[in-house]
Structure 1
Amino acid sequence: MKGGEDRMYTTKPIREGRGEQVSFRLVTLREADRLFLFATNTSLKPEEIREQFRKRWGIETSYRVIRKFHAKTTSKLYRLRILYFYLAVVLYNLWVLLNYKYETGTPTYVLKLRILLSLVLSFLPDMEAGNEQDNQDTL
């Protein structure tokens, strides 16, 4: 791995006299045939910056993926929204576990989890239909 270029940039305010300017460092790092670009405000070496971003990548990916498990609802009922949130967390954790078990080669366990996951998913549309009844009850 070899260090690359390093330049400082400062943003311009959106409107003259308003808005905050931000200064950041743009670091480039070449590794084999790949080019990495990092915008940062740290004074770390390029290799250290890459390592920090690598550690954060799994966390950021988790946040993006878990959004796919959130149920979409227009309900204003707190208990229903929190139930959907809990279901999203459970489904996401099952998904992570399935992927982990699949990679480590435990097919019977994976099969049982897939069946459980399909059962849980089959109840989601019924819960949304129940949402209509909850809304009528509160009127």
Structure 2
Amino acid sequence: MKGAKSKSESKKPGSRLSVKKREAPAKKAKDPNKPKRPASAFFVFMEDFRKQYKEKHPNNKSVSVVGKAGGEKWKSMSEAEKAPFVAKAEKRKSEYDKTLQAYNKKLAEGKPDEEEEEDESDKSKSEVHDDDDDSGDDEEEDDE
């Protein structure tokens, strides 16, 4: 078989088909000023349940046991028993919506300068103002 390539000859080490891995898109840094999402009705319930459970079981150190007991209790509750927790959750949700709208409005107005200032320095505002008042000699002492 002249001119015919055997299977072993046609495969070169570099000629294998390879799957190109896509690079994950760069994640945006989370804005620490963004309001946190409100707790669901179940988590509002769990706030109270944890306190009650710890009073009844002071020796229990396991978080999972408390969570499982809370989940079982929540499932066994009627809609009427859940209603106060649902109402609290809805109230928190409406407050969150207002806060989020205010936050988005600030972003739309364009205040990226604040983020840049935060990146430049981890110092609190009081420390920054203290440094402005001093002649700068204290900064050298702090670094030692």
**Same topology, TM > 0.5:** no
- TM-score, structure 1 as length reference: 0.32
| Structure having greater relative contact order (Cα 8 Å, sep ≥ 6) | 2
Structure in which a larger fraction of residues adopt strand: 1
Structure with the larger helix share:
2
